[in-house]
A and B are shown apart, each in its own frame.
Chain A
Amino acid sequence: MIIETLSADVKSVVDRWKDRRGNLITILHDIQDRYGYVPREAALEVSRQMDAPLARIYEVLTFYNYFKLQPPGKFNISVCLGTACYLKGAPALIDEIRGILHVEEGQTTKDGFFHLQIVRCLGCCGLAPVITVGDKVYSAVKRSDVMDIIAEYSKDSVKNG
């Protein structure tokens, strides 16, 4: 994140939606799309530019699960915990990932490569249990598959990291 451009970035987002009534959530979505999360500096900037108290920004940010306040890892691992995935063994997948990466839900590994998050229903219940890494979806995942999936990306991170 480049602080110098942040103010201009936020301005372009705020300007884009300034005529829209009730635009705060839309603006925060755009900011998260850009940075992968909503940095505190950006929230402050939104507060300044919209002339709204910071508390007003944060009451929305903290209410909705979708908004993230921490930077994501290089690879985001999302485990679906919708009903179908839950019944078909998603909790065991979470255990396995925790064990391999030594992170809890919502945390990023020390090297910044992997971030583990639990999501509610990705809407692919027929393929349960489902996990996604970045944009790639893995379906009907078994506990024994988890190591291989993570290994795929670990190699990447060694190569490019």
Chain B
Amino acid sequence: MKRVLIQDTNGKLKKETREFLVSLNSQLRDRGLSSEVQTLMAADIGVYNRGIALKVLPEGFTYVNLEQKHIPEIIEKTLLKGEQVAGIAREGSVGQMRIVLRNCGVIDPESLEDYIAHDGYQGLARALELGPEKVVEEMKKSGLRGRGGAGFPTWMKWNITRGVQGNEKYIICNGDEGDPGAYMDRSVLEGDPHSVIEGMMIGAIAIGATKGFFYIRAEYPLAVERIQKGIDICYSRGLLGKNILGSSFSFDIEIRLGAGAFVCGEETALIASVEGLRGYPRPRPPFPSVKGLWGNPTVINNVETLANVSYILCKGGEAFGKIGVEGSTGTKVFALTGKVRNSGLVEVPMGISLRDIVFEIGGGVLDNRAIKAIQTGGPSGGVIPEQFFDTPVGYESLQKLGSIMGSGGMIVLDENDCAVDISKFYLGFCVDESCGKCAPCRVGGTQMLAILKKISHGKAEEEDLARLSQIAQAMQKASLCGLGQTAPNPVLSTLKYFMSEYRAHVIDHKCPAGKCSSLVSYRITREKCTGCGMCARVCPADAISGSRQDKYTIDAVKCISCGQCFDVCKFTAVSRQ
């Protein structure tokens, strides 16, 4: 039986799509094919902004920009003969590539057998055969760079620690996913825990570690549970403990819970936290690779990095190195969220354009609004406006634009989002999370936030804009750790690309996006008002009065600019200025 899946388009094309389906059905009936072909609406066949689109199963042909005149040919060629129709077939589709998420949604995360059936622990077996030096060699070939943010080559990190003398060495997996908007680590820990455990064991072989720690956010109880189950089953089957897989390699793992401190993403702070202390960073050098946990050589790798490691050792570094682009190999998982149609995790090869991620995979902006920018790298990253969307994704290319790859948060901002407001949000986060040890971060952040608040209330002067960048530069240069050094990035990048918006706040006392409530006023257009009174009912300040005959008006003195009347009015009678 053939199946025809028609993409459900809820926007402008809703009527045309329904008519197309009706016509297709009646032609199938006329030809007596109704019982051999099932036609149905599908929520999403992965094609966007290409008119009416459908997919035929089992062949998997996708046709786009369809009109009713195409129906006979589709029936004749594809449904009867299984051939593709030229001219309407979708071309150059952009797809995801799953390496890190290879088993997520495929295997039972609590079953060791299921993981082994999907090539699990083959990388470990190979690493034991190769020995430390060749494992590092393999990683070098792969070109893998740390997925936690900084992008330091993994092989180099391992090689340094491998070369350091020490009785005891440690490897820590950083699962304290702090970026408020990225959750790929949680997904991997929950969906494929053994891939990370295996990656950690391979790292341990490379550097000569005898003990590993998972440092996981306490806010992720399910991730903790699945990793703990994974560790327990490995012990019971001899994959952890002494003489693993009959070799001389012995290794132990335990879990340590984070307790909610963004600064613990910084390696030295994370180490302090594993030691049971408050998460204060300390000056480097000495680097953790030389002097880390309890003074011993320590490697810290991110969850996504380790999930890549087990794949690389299994499939070979060279093959991995061919994916992606020069300098940024492999794939990257992004948490695509914000004002995007398909929000979720996407894994794409490096080098794909931002536009393809947002529009081809993400399906474009929610509710068909205009896109303003995307924000990558969370509180340490920056915004990228639309003119740069064709930039290929890579560590250096994003840095050039004033943002970073970071851990993979990717937030879509639309025309209703305000540049000042979003920088205030991120900076507020960093000020909250600053540990307070060094003055540039503690004082600088607070001062910048005060200025941003002034701007969003329309009370700033022009000089404040210059002050912002001055303090930002001081923070970047003088802060002790990565948190303070990168905290000004969202502000600097919005200043760079959306200066006119800042100026509108400062000089005209207007928020062009209509987000900063003290700069926005609402009024009701009499001609459009139907007198339904919805606005008056939702107004929390009792600022709207009127009647069906007299229509409604807003009392500007009482109004608190919350915007609820604006959201609730079905007749666009409430306007925002």
User: Which residues of A line the B interface, CB within 8 A?
Assistant: 20-26, 28-29, 59-60, 63-67, 81-84, 86-88, 92, 95, 99, 119-126, 128, 143-144
Q: A119-B219, A121-B181, A123-B219 are in contact. Are A87 and B276 (CB under 8 A)?
A: no
Instruction: List the B residue with the shortest CB-CB distance to A99.
Output: B540
Interface centre among B218, B339, B562 (most CB of A within 10 A): B218
- Let me know if B276 and A26 touch, CB within 8 A: yes
Q: How far is the CA of A70 from the CA of B117 in the complex (A)?
A: 48
Complex contacts, B219 vs chain A, CB 8 Å: 66, 119, 121-123
Instruction: List the A residue with the shortest CB-CB distance to B560.
Output: A95
- Let me know if A22 and B275 touch, CB within 8 A: yes
Complex contacts, A21 vs chain B, CB 8 Å: 275-276, 294
Complex contacts, A29 vs chain B, CB 8 Å: 218, 257, 259
B166 part of interface (Cβ distance < 8 Å): no
Complex contacts, B337 vs chain A, CB 8 Å: 83-84, 125-126, 128
Instruction: Please pick, from A84, A124, A143, A144, the residue contacting B411 in the complex, using a CB distance under 8 A.
Output: A84
B279 part of interface (Cβ distance < 8 Å): yes
- Let me know if B413 and A87 touch, CB within 8 A: yes
Instruction: List the B residue with the shortest CB-CB distance to A96.
Output: B540
- Let me know if B181 and A82 touch, CB within 8 A: yes
- Let me know if A87 and B429 touch, CB within 8 A: no
Contact with A along B237-273 (1 / 0, CB 8 A): 0000000000000000010111111100000000001
- Let me know if B186 and A25 touch, CB within 8 A: no
Complex contacts, A24 vs chain B, CB 8 Å: 276-277
Instruction: List the A residue with the shortest CB-CB distance to B429.
Output: A120
B142 part of interface (Cβ distance < 8 Å): no
Give the 7 A-B residue pairs with the shortest CB-CB distance, closest first: A64-B259, A65-B260, A83-B181, A22-B276, A82-B180, A123-B183, A66-B260
Minimum CB–CB distance for B481 against chain A, Å: 15
- Let me know if B279 and A63 touch, CB within 8 A: yes
Q: How far is the CA of A28 from the CA of B538 in the complex (A)?
A: 44
B492 part of interface (Cβ distance < 8 Å): no
- Let me know if B276 and A126 touch, CB within 8 A: no
Q: A22-B276, A123-B186 are in contact. Are A87 and B259 (CB under 8 A)?
A: no
Q: A84-B343, A120-B180, A121-B183 are in contact. Are A64 and B411 (CB under 8 A)?
A: no
Instruction: List the B residue with the shortest CB-CB distance to A63.
Output: B278
User: Which residues of B line the A interface, CB within 8 A?
Assistant: 177-183, 186-187, 218-220, 254, 256-262, 273-279, 294, 335, 337-339, 343-344, 375, 378, 409, 411, 413, 417, 422, 425-426, 429, 435, 538, 540, 562, 564, 567
Instruction: Please pick, from B257, B425, B540, B564, the residue contacting A26 in the complex, using a CB distance under 8 A.
Output: B257
- Let me know if B220 and A123 touch, CB within 8 A: yes
Instruction: Please pick, from B182, B261, B564, the residue contacting A64 in the complex, using a CB distance under 8 A.
Output: B261
Count of CB-CB pairs between chains A and B under 8 Å: 112
Q: A83-B425, A84-B181, A87-B411 are in contact. Are A65 and B261 (CB under 8 A)?
A: yes
Minimum CB–CB distance for A70 against chain B, Å: 16
A–B complex contacts, Cβ < 8 Å, 7 sampled: A63-B279, A65-B259, A83-B409, A120-B180, A121-B179, A126-B337, A128-B343
Instruction: List the B residue with the shortest CB-CB distance to A125.
Output: B337
Q: A66-B218, A84-B411, A87-B411 are in contact. Are A22 and B435 (CB under 8 A)?
A: no
Q: How far is the CA of A120 from the CA of B540 in the complex (A)?
A: 27
Instruction: List the A residue with the shortest CB-CB distance to B425.
Output: A86
Complex contacts, A67 vs chain B, CB 8 Å: 259
Minimum CB–CB distance for B511 against chain A, Å: 15
Complex contacts, B564 vs chain A, CB 8 Å: 92, 143
Q: How far is the CA of A84 from the CA of B410 in the complex (A)?
A: 10
Complex contacts, B344 vs chain A, CB 8 Å: 126
Minimum CB–CB distance for B406 against chain A, Å: 12
Minimum CB–CB distance for A35 against chain B, Å: 15
Minimum CB–CB distance for B445 against chain A, Å: 16
- Let me know if A25 and B257 touch, CB within 8 A: yes
Interface centre among A28, A120, A122 (most CB of B within 10 A): A120
Complex contacts, B254 vs chain A, CB 8 Å: 20
Complex contacts, B409 vs chain A, CB 8 Å: 83
Complex contacts, A63 vs chain B, CB 8 Å: 261, 278-279, 435
Q: How far is the CA of A60 from the CA of B259 in the complex (A)?
A: 10
Minimum CB–CB distance for A127 against chain B, Å: 8
Minimum CB–CB distance for B56 against chain A, Å: 29
Q: How far is the CA of A92 from the CA of B562 in the complex (A)?
A: 8
Complex contacts, B275 vs chain A, CB 8 Å: 21-22
Complex contacts, B178 vs chain A, CB 8 Å: 120
Complex contacts, A121 vs chain B, CB 8 Å: 179-183, 219
Q: How far is the CA of A54 from the CA of B244 in the complex (A)?
A: 43
Instruction: Please pick, from B177, B278, B378, the residue contacting A83 in the complex, using a CB distance under 8 A.
Output: B378
Minimum CB–CB distance for A102 against chain B, Å: 13
- Let me know if B257 and A83 touch, CB within 8 A: no
- Let me know if B277 and A60 touch, CB within 8 A: yes
Q: How far is the CA of A95 from the CA of B183 in the complex (A)?
A: 26
6 additional A-B pairs beyond A25-B276, A123-B187, beta carbons within 8 Å, are A22-B276, A63-B278, A64-B278, A120-B180, A123-B177, A123-B183
- Let me know if B260 and A83 touch, CB within 8 A: no
Complex contacts, A122 vs chain B, CB 8 Å: 219
Q: A21-B294, A23-B276, A119-B219 are in contact. Are A87 and B339 (CB under 8 A)?
A: yes
Q: A66-B218, A66-B219, A83-B409 are in contact. Are A60 and B276 (CB under 8 A)?
A: yes
Instruction: Please pick, from A83, A88, A143, the residue contacting B180 in the complex, using a CB distance under 8 A.
Output: A83
